[in-house]
Amino acid sequence: MPTKNVKAKRVKVAPREQSDVAQWLRHHWLPLTLGGFFVVLPFVGGTSAINADWLLLGVVSAALLVAAIAGVIIALWQRRTLALTLPEVFLGAFVAWQWVTASVSVYRWATWTEAMRWTAFAIVVMAVCELAGKRGFLPSLAVAFVAGGMLSALQGIAEYAVNAASGNPSWRIFGPFLNPNLFADYLLLALFVAVGLAILHFRRAPLLLSLLTLLLLIAMGLTGSKGALLAWSVGTVALGLMAIGRLKIVGVPDRRNRLVRRWAISLALVAGFIVFMLAITALPPIKARFAALWTTQAHSWMFRWLIWKATLAASFVRPLTGFGAGTFEWVYPQFATVSYTRHAHSGFLQVAMESGWLGLTLLLLCFASVLMGGAKMSLAANLSSAESEQPRGQRGWLQIASVAALLAFCIHNVVETAWLTTANLWALAFVVGVLQAEVSPMRRLSWRWWALALPFLLVGLWHSVGVARGAYFAQLARNEPLPSVRLFWLERASDADPLNARYLIDRAILLEAWAKATGDESRLREALRLCDAAIRLQPTRSGNYKVKARLLQSLGDEAGAEKALRTALRFNRTDTEAMLRLGEFLEKRDKPDAAAAIYRKLVALERSPYGRFKPVEQWQDIFVAAGKTRLAHLLWRQGQRQRAQQLLDEAERTLRSFQTAYLPILKASDPEAAESQDAFVRSLLDDLHLLRQTLRKAPQNVGR
């Protein structure tokens, strides 16, 4: 039995141990939280560019904004001076400009959402910058960041193994991301940070660190991203050059130093070239894409080139302010010569179109100042100790790796919208924060300047909470089979997120279907009111006008319906569905010549860049096929049987190709859209066969 003295000692020790734990948590809660955030980042932000993940994006953004608001309030309470570096000045100006563009935005909800994402980006940069300046925290954050990359890479490799075992060795891995190219962007950042950690701790576990780094490289190759592999090769050369300038800092003896300096550049180039060629020849996904670079993949490059031309042309329409941050998807169709795309496939060009050339200049100045600071750090070995402000030891290697990561990311961002998903944007924030950690403040401002950030943070918090609540109610509506209950949840979604036009349109479509089932005209009028409200919020989306045209046609306003369809084509000149509906509408109004002109314009798209350069090789436009069927019917009535038969044959080939080649892809990505389009294609095939039988049975002179 313990004595009373022992018990007394235990009583005294326990509070001390609890105090030590509490003190440790008080000093480490932020790096622990941020480290956990980076571990799960690819899984919570990899697909946040699609509507299904707005709930998660809103929740995570709200948490970051709450933390930032608390930090600003504490800084104001403590009257802490505001020390700003040059990159932070440019970054703050860019984020503020994102919010300013909301005043001229064509869709304010999209602009506020994009501004919210970039505000969260700046918050992560500041948090990483603060923790990276504290001894011991940067390696821990880097380990967490690389751990997230490793977990997503393992998921991608497992995905490839399943598909390769099923007989598809050329499968491009998606991992937890929206598409393989965006996954490659994330792995690109994680790979260079992993290289920095491997150099830092190479003596402890050389084999393990080499294998982990190789794992990330293999996963990046399995994405099949040509641009990411080329960007990696440029970043690798830059990393080697900066490592040469760092040799004296790590204490390499002079004789070895001279030897390495003489041969390191050549060896780095040769090693990079060998790895590059091995990736092309050994990994089937990237091998297949390079092999088809000038054959079946040629359409991909031309598709991007035409998108870049249209985006550049759009950027000069509003060169100063742009059309509003995040609005590319609803502006680009006015200038498009090819089919729909969600992003510009060039992050910098997209910023120029959305935020104007002023916004792009501010962002480029931020990245350029960060890279220049990193280059100065890599040459710190050539400076005297009095001139050099760069750290010695572990942070130096991680900063060199971060310079290479940022450079490679920017290179790939020229040919891909690398920060489209939130995971990539906030992963980039880690790299930028690491590089800013050692930059000396340009100026120290009064503590009152902290208050300038509060309005942006509070507006961002209000919007992020609304986005999350609206997405939650919309998800409940999608899962509800009863129309009345679904309508209730959509109304809650609209109330929670009043700037989101999508919920208004969904309510209008639901009321339209309900009215057709019950014959209640009042529901049609309510649907029209909601559609007009959505158009006021989002006036450049052609889909809104197509819904309005259907409603006006149901209410008997034929002139208004035709005007709505023509407005849809004004905002999206390659909207083949709007062309088809306008042609069918003109037919019903006994205007066969006008309808035939619309159908000919629709069919002509197939021979234009729209039809020749597709976003996906297997993609087929079923509305063009429907237009051919309708035009064939009109031509048959005019006596042009041979041309009508030719159009029917072409339409059938297109529809069959859609069913066999593209429909399986669509089912995997969007099952609901696949089901509706499959039903539409089957009805088209039935109409086509009926028309073909009519052609065969009718006399030769019918219609003449």
User: Distance (Å, rounded) from C-alpha 92 to C-alpha 95?
Assistant: 5
Cα 266 → chain centroid:
37
Structure confidence at residue 206 (pLDDT): 72
Residue 554's Cβ-side half-sphere holds a number of Cα atoms within 13 Å equal to 24
Structure confidence at residue 612 (pLDDT): 84
Of 588, 587, 565, the C-alpha closest to 578 is 565
User: Distance (Å, rounded) from C-alpha 150 to C-alpha 472?
Assistant: 30
In this prediction, what percent of the chain has a pLDDT beyond 70?
Answer: 82
Of 70-79, 101-110, 226-235, 643-652, which has the strongest mean pLDDT? 101-110
Instruction: Summarize the confidence of residues 191-220 as an average pLDDT.
Output: 83
Instruction: Summarize the confidence of residues 642-650 as an average pLDDT.
Output: 89
Structure confidence at residue 14 (pLDDT): 52
Residue linked to tokens 């759009």: 314
SS3 content of the chain, % helix, strand, coil (to 5): 80, 0, 20
Q: What is the pLDDT of residues 583-632, one digit of tens each?
A: 999 998 888 899 999 999 999 988 888 888 877 665 678 899 999 999 99
User: Distance (Å, rounded) from C-alpha 491 to C-alpha 479?
Assistant: 15
How would residue 349 be classed by pLDDT, with cut points 50, 70 and 90?
very high
In order of their start, the domains of the chain are 82-445 (no CATH), 500-570 (1.25.40.10), 573-699 (1.25.40)
Q: What is the pLDDT of residues 152-171, one digit of tens each?
A: 999 999 998 988 888 888 88
Instruction: Summarize the confidence of residues 255-279 as an average pLDDT.
Output: 59
Count of beta carbons in the 10 Å neighbourhood of residue 313: 13
Structure confidence at residue 473 (pLDDT): 95
Q: Which of 215-229, 335-349, 381-395, 611-625 is least confident?
A: 381-395
Q: What is the pLDDT of residues 613-625, one digit of tens each?
A: 877 665 678 899 9
695-701 long-range contacts, CB within 8 A, separation 24+ = 695/636, 695/641, 695/644, 695/645, 695/648, 698/636, 700/641, 701/639
583-586 long-range contacts, CB within 8 A, separation 24+ = 583/627, 583/630, 584/630, 585/549, 585/553, 585/558, 585/561, 586/562
User: Distance (Å, rounded) from C-alpha 470 to C-alpha 54?
Assistant: 9
How would residue 8 be classed by pLDDT, with cut points 50, 70 and 90?
very low
Instruction: Summarize the confidence of residues 95-107 as an average pLDDT.
Output: 95
pLDDT score of 465 more than 80: yes
pLDDT score of 457 more than 60: yes
Structure confidence at residue 390 (pLDDT): 39
* Stronger pLDDT, 15 or 436, i.e. the higher one: 436
State both tokens at 586. Answer: 């003109």
Instruction: Summarize the confidence of residues 489-518 as an average pLDDT.
Output: 94
Q: What is the pLDDT of residues 372-392, one digit of tens each?
A: 887 676 555 444 444 434 344
Is residue 41 within 8 Å of 426, Cβ to Cβ? Answer: yes
- Which residues, other chains included, contact 170 with Cβ-Cβ below 8 Å and sequence gap of 6+? 224, 284, 285, 288
Strand partners, 443: 84
How would residue 214 be classed by pLDDT, with cut points 50, 70 and 90?
confident
Residue 598's Cβ-side half-sphere holds a number of Cα atoms within 13 Å equal to 27
Distances (CA, A) of 110 to 93, 150, 251, 501: 20, 32, 52, 10
Q: What is the DSSP string of 191-214?
A: HHHHHHHHHHTTTT-HHHHHHHHH
Structure confidence at residue 45 (pLDDT): 83
Distances (CA, A) of 326 to 105, 208, 346, 458: 9, 42, 14, 20
Instruction: Summarize the confidence of residues 82-96 as an average pLDDT.
Output: 91
* Stronger pLDDT, 207 or 294, i.e. the higher one: 207
State both tokens at 584. Answer: 């069918």
Four-CA torsion 279, 297, 160, 656, nearest 10 degrees: -160
Residue linked to tokens 């709930």: 55
pLDDT score of 16 more than 70: no
Q: Which of 465-479, 537-551, 660-674 is least confident?
A: 660-674
State both tokens at 630. Answer: 């309708």
Q: Is 241 exposed, middle or buried (0-12, 13-18, 19+ CB in 10 A)?
A: middle
For the chain, what is the mean pLDDT?
84
* pTM for the full predicted model: 0.88
Q: Is 532 exposed, middle or buried (0-12, 13-18, 19+ CB in 10 A)?
A: middle
- Which residues, other chains included, contact 169 with Cβ-Cβ below 8 Å and sequence gap of 6+? 163, 284
pLDDT score of 31 more than 50: yes
Count of beta carbons in the 10 Å neighbourhood of residue 107: 24
Instruction: Please provide the distance, in angstroms rounded to a whole number, between the alpha carbons at the two ends of the chain.
Output: 115
Amino acid making up residue 336:
A
How would residue 52 be classed by pLDDT, with cut points 50, 70 and 90?
very low
Q: What is the pLDDT of residues 275-316, one digit of tens each?
A: 666 665 666 666 666 655 555 555 677 888 999 999 999 999
Instruction: Summarize the confidence of residues 511-521 as an average pLDDT.
Output: 89
User: Distance (Å, rounded) from C-alpha 56 to C-alpha 58?
Assistant: 5
* Stronger pLDDT, 27 or 540, i.e. the higher one: 540
Instruction: Summarize the confidence of residues 178-198 as an average pLDDT.
Output: 91
The kind and range of the H/E element at 337 are none
Instruction: Summarize the confidence of residues 89-111 as an average pLDDT.
Output: 95
How many Å is the maximal CA-CA distance in the chain? Answer: 117
Strand partners, 444: 83
φ/ψ of 362, rounded to 5, equals -60, -40
Count of beta carbons in the 10 Å neighbourhood of residue 137: 20
User: Distance (Å, rounded) from C-alpha 34 to C-alpha 76?
Assistant: 23
Is residue 540 within 8 Å of 335, Cβ to Cβ? Answer: no
Residue linked to tokens 């390191």: 264
Of 186, 232, 194, the C-alpha closest to 47 is 186
Is residue 193 within 8 Å of 402, Cβ to Cβ? Answer: yes
Instruction: Summarize the confidence of residues 189-204 as an average pLDDT.
Output: 85
Instruction: Summarize the confidence of residues 326-340 as an average pLDDT.
Output: 91
How would residue 394 be classed by pLDDT, with cut points 50, 70 and 90?
low
* Stronger pLDDT, 32 or 672, i.e. the higher one: 32
Structure confidence at residue 377 (pLDDT): 65
Q: Is 211 exposed, middle or buried (0-12, 13-18, 19+ CB in 10 A)?
A: exposed
- DSSP helix/strand/coil, 29: helix
User: Distance (Å, rounded) from C-alpha 152 to C-alpha 5?
Assistant: 54
pLDDT score of 10 more than 50: no
Amino acid making up residue 57:
L
The kind and range of the H/E element at 83 are strand 82-84
